[in-house]
Amino acid sequence: MKAEVKKRGAMRRVWLVALTSLVVLAGCHSFKKENVQPPTPLAKDFKPTTQVTKLWTTSVGDGAGESGVRLRPAFADGVLYACSTDGKVAAIDATSGKTLWTKSSRTQGWFGWGDKKRADALYAGGPMVSGDLLVVGTLDGHVYGINAKDGSPRWESVVNSEVISSPVISGNLVVARTQDGRLYGFDSATGERRWVYDQDTVPLLSLRGNGPLLAANGVVFYGSDAGKLVALRLDNGEKLWEQTLASGEGRTEIDRLADADGAILLSGTTLYGAAYHGNLAAVDGPSGRPLWGRPFSTFTSLDVTDTAIYGVNDESQVWAFDKNGGSDMWKNDALKYRWLTGPAVLGNYVVVGDLEGYVHFLQTGDGALAARERLSKKAIRAQPLVVGDIVYVEDVKGRIGAYRLGGR
């Protein structure tokens, strides 16, 4: 009992510290405060230069709600999978938006074990899917394996803290990251724990969120709360190397925040990552050797094409950089302080969502605003998901919209 109380106390402390930093940094609901810049108004005379069609919308539970996490759907074999912090998980036909199945859990232990009735399946990390396995983590320290075909339970594993970033599935392993700085490797068939990697130190103050894990070539890559790009062996969790993305220097605790809170990208053998109060950097994947770096502060994920890297900085300016050396290609500040999502590339356009539920389309060539749609009146925090010629966007209340360039 004492261990359980201690665990919950630690989780609560992490939640409060991280939420405090989010309010200070993003201030998405505090624009009346003097120290928070108001969002740039959208141009009322805006004329789109390309056509965007909304194909469908649907909702899954209450989405991320007030948790501060970036819930984003996952895609596999023509199906979208989505979850919510109020215990809903669903499979959706990616073409039509029709719900194929949905499950709801509000009891202790997702399988109904235990006598106490309380909300336990507070889905927040994921979902992630591979084949017929769907994996999702919770705010209450669980990782669940689910049958992707019908939503039936397969296994559950207990961890020491919240899971608020998407796990990764690679072969016979599932790797999940927790808010207290640990990474866990689980058997994908049974959920049995295979290894644990514990960071040496986790800063007391960090951003509310963890970037998704990247698994490739037998290695797991991630951005740490201390501003590092870290590589671990997939089979046993042993650290191979790390590179600094942000040094964490400054006069105040806020100034010293150096969280690498976005996804690590892989193109060929080169890794790309960025950190808050840090740099955008290219790193050789096999050796960990830095290739180039440039100042760029962000708390969202990047996207990459054959020639360019796209990012949104901590003031919500959209940038494009040359992929080979990191030099500036263009910057668009028309959406400044609208607290944009990370960018997603859809054909010749960069797609971002904002705090008022708008979805913006910018030209990849020069950054000019080309189209604008509105999903809802709620904030969009998660990076849009591009699959083929369709982009899927989810707001904080679980509303998901599918958009395609051009007409139907």
Between CA 396 and CA 230, with CA 164 as vertex, the angle to 5 degrees is: 130
Q: Per-residue pLDDT for 120 more than 80?
A: no
Tens digit of each residue's pLDDT (9 = 90 or more) over 274-294: 988 889 999 999 999 999 999
CA atoms within 13 Å, Cβ hemisphere of 246: 29
3-state secondary structure of 386: strand
The better pLDDT of the pair 289, 255 is held by 289
Tens digit of each residue's pLDDT (9 = 90 or more) over 323-347: 999 999 999 999 999 999 999 999 9
pTM: 0.88
Distance CA 39, CA 21 (A): 19
Cβ neighbors of 159 (< 8 A, separation 6 or more) are 137, 141, 142, 143, 176, 178, 182, 184
Q: Per-residue pLDDT for 32 more than 50?
A: no
Q: Which of 35-44, 111-120, 126-135, 238-247 has the weakest average pLDDT?
A: 111-120
Q: Per-residue pLDDT for 403 more than 90?
A: yes
Q: Per-residue pLDDT for 368 more than 80?
A: yes
| Mean model confidence pLDDT for the chain | 86
pLDDT of 33: 44
321 touches 309 (CB < 8 A): yes
pLDDT of 176: 97
pLDDT of 257: 52
pLDDT of 181: 86
Q: Per-residue pLDDT for 27 more than 90?
A: no
Q: Per-residue pLDDT for 42 more than 60?
A: yes
Per-residue pLDDT averaged across 363-379, rounded? 98
pLDDT of 394: 98
From residue 252, alpha-carbon distances to 206, 226, 248, 281 in Å are: 13, 15, 10, 25
The better pLDDT of the pair 31, 232 is held by 232
- Cα-Cα end-to-end distance for the chain: 58
Hey, what domains does the chain have and what are their CATH numbers?
Answer: 71-208 (2.40.128.630)
The better pLDDT of the pair 302, 7 is held by 302
3-state secondary structure of 67: coil
Tokens standing for residue 271? 């890794």
Sheet holding 74-76, edge to edge: 74-76, 79-83, 88-93, 99-104
354 touches 345 (CB < 8 A): no
Q: Are strands 74-76 and 399-405 parallel, antiparallel or unpaired?
A: unpaired
Distance CA 342, CA 89 (A): 24
